[in-house]
Amino acid sequence: DAKTTQPTSMDCAEGRAANLPCNHSTISGNEYVYWYRQIHSQGPQYIIHGLKNNETNEMASLIITEDRKSSTLILPHATLRDTAVYYCIVRAYNTDKLIFGTGTRLQVFP
């Protein structure tokens, strides 16, 4: 599985957009980009995933660059409840397994 690189931590003001970057320069053509988050010590929560097109759901938007070497998760209006560790994960098509890194700790402040 391709390795991902994320900033260790980020801050965001409540109500503003949170843009979380992820580098995955060694991603191959059949690998998907997944985003999960973990609030405190709870179980990871699925946010969104994509292959090459930008994706949007009720939680977030995922922007994948044309060369697929990086992506950005966007939380359009961050709330205090969005404070969590966010994981960017590259997953091969032929496995269900998710390989978690250390993620980005997002702190949303009032």
Write out the two tokens for 54: 């930008």
Strand order in the sheet with 31-38: 9-13, 104-109, 84-92, 31-38, 45-50
Q: Interface with other proteins by CB under 8 A: which range of 3-11, 23-31, 69-77, 99-107?
A: 99-107
Q: Should residue 34 be labelled a site residue for other proteins when binding is judged by CB under 8 A? A: yes
Phi and psi (nearest 5°) for 82? -85, -5
Tell me which residues in 38-57 interact with other proteins (CB under 8 A): 38, 41-46, 49
Binding site for other proteins (CB under 8 A): 32, 34, 38, 41-46, 49, 87, 91, 95-102
